Homo-oligomer: A and B are copies of this chain.
């Protein structure tokens, strides 16, 4: 789990609670809640296929969970495979396949072990990367859509409130509380968009980018193994995919291993 997601959520809630103070009951209005949430979820359902839109809350939960993307471990694995393939031949990697967790790496290596042409392996893995990217984007865009329609239905709620309020504007002393309620949908719409929908979408997008990056590294590694490149050259190439921090960590751990 990414700690910043939780800290961020806590800060945002503290900010709201702080702002509302003791009058919390005032900003709670059930009809406003239904207009904003049902309306915007409704529009999101229209906009996305049921295979994605019905999972909207799962998608948000996915943003909170945060599977570690371990480029260092991946590089080490690829390096050891490269050495083994050189020593004992490509076919020797077959026994390692079942223990590989990443589908992408396992499928790619299996194709390599099966003797598939490098060009074909590259093509297959690139299609898989495209599909992963598209699948992620399909999921993340559900939250983007919700984040766009929540303020829209907030405004629709406020407009309905204003139209009803102004139509019967006779007693000026009642305009305040009624307008207060009319505004609550706009507030709800903003809160949904700016806390629940859009920030998690952004986090998922960043993570998908990191995964694509790792896939590129794996692709280069597999091609290097298939073509029988020197493991050290492969290592050099794959190290280029690490962030500065990861590179330092990788190199210091190599030093330790050397002992």
Contacts and interface: CB of A to CB of B under 8 A. Distances in A.
Contacts of A159: 183, 186-187, 190
A89 interface: no
Interface string A181-211: 0011111001101110011101100110100
A258 interface: no
A76 interface: no
B46 A34 contact: no
Contacts of A26: 163-164, 167
A15 interface: yes
Each complex incorporates copies of this chain amounting to 5
A157 B21 CA distance: 12
A28 to B, nearest CB: 10
A259 interface: no
B166 A46 contact: no
A187 B243 contact: no
Contacts of A160: 16, 19-20, 27, 187
A156 B191 contact: yes
B180 A163 contact: yes
A45 B14 CA distance: 14
A21 B49 CA distance: 30
Interface residues of A, number: 109
A18 B42 CA distance: 14
A242 B131 CA distance: 8
Interface stretch (A4-12, A78-86, A94-102, A249-257): A4-12
Nearest to A27: B163
Contact of A123 (B8, B164, B237): B237
B207 A49 contact: yes
B39 A15 contact: yes
Given A18-B31, A163-B183, A134 B4 contact: no
B194 A152 contact: yes
A128 interface: yes
Contact of A50 (B3, B39, B49, B51): B3
5 contacts: A5-B46, A11-B38, A15-B35, A19-B156, A46-B202
Closest 9 CB pairs of A and B: A169-B176, A8-B45, A11-B42, A12-B42, A4-B50, A46-B199, A15-B39, A47-B202, A8-B46
